[in-house]
Amino acid sequence: GIQVEQSPPDLILQEGANSTLRCNFSDSVNNLQWFHQNPWGQLINLFYIPSGTKQNGRLSATTVATERYSLLYISSSQTTDSGVYFCAVEGSSNTGKLIFGQGTTLQVKP
């Protein structure tokens, strides 16, 4: 099945810094989503982005489907950005079944 790898596994930032999180996937995808899991465990949808670029406030994401990777950019990080960021993809199942990466754990220090 499709493999999803995220890097880095852990990241520590000072408040105000920028960061880039990467997601590599091993096959073509129908669906790619980025999620933020907050310290209470809630998974929050950030982007649905199987291709192209999107921006939402301080966050933006780019997926280059032909090269099988996606990037999540966080600018001017805040302590509330702390948590785990997951990339999840749907392969050829056509059921919407998401395969998750192992996540990037981000800690933003004040």
Q: Note the residues at the interface with another protein (CB under 8 A).
A: 31, 33, 35, 40-45, 48, 86, 88, 93, 95-103
Nearer to another protein, 48 or 58 (CB): 48
- Amino acid at the residue 86: F
CB of residue 85 to another protein, shortest distance in Å? 12
How far apart, in whole angstroms, are the C-alpha atoms of residue 8 and residue 101? Answer: 11
CB of residue 92 to another protein, shortest distance in Å? 12
CB of residue 17 to another protein, shortest distance in Å? 27
| Torsional class of 82: left (φ above 0), alpha (ψ -120 to 50), beta (otherwise) | beta
CB of residue 110 to another protein, shortest distance in Å? 27
Nearer to another protein, 13 or 23 (CB): 23
Nearer to another protein, 29 or 108 (CB): 29
How far apart, in whole angstroms, are the C-alpha atoms of residue 70 and residue 50? Answer: 9
How far apart, in whole angstroms, are the C-alpha atoms of residue 63 and residue 13? Answer: 24
Nearer to another protein, 31 or 82 (CB): 31
Residue 16 phi/psi, 5-degree rounding, is 100, -15
DSSP state of 19: E
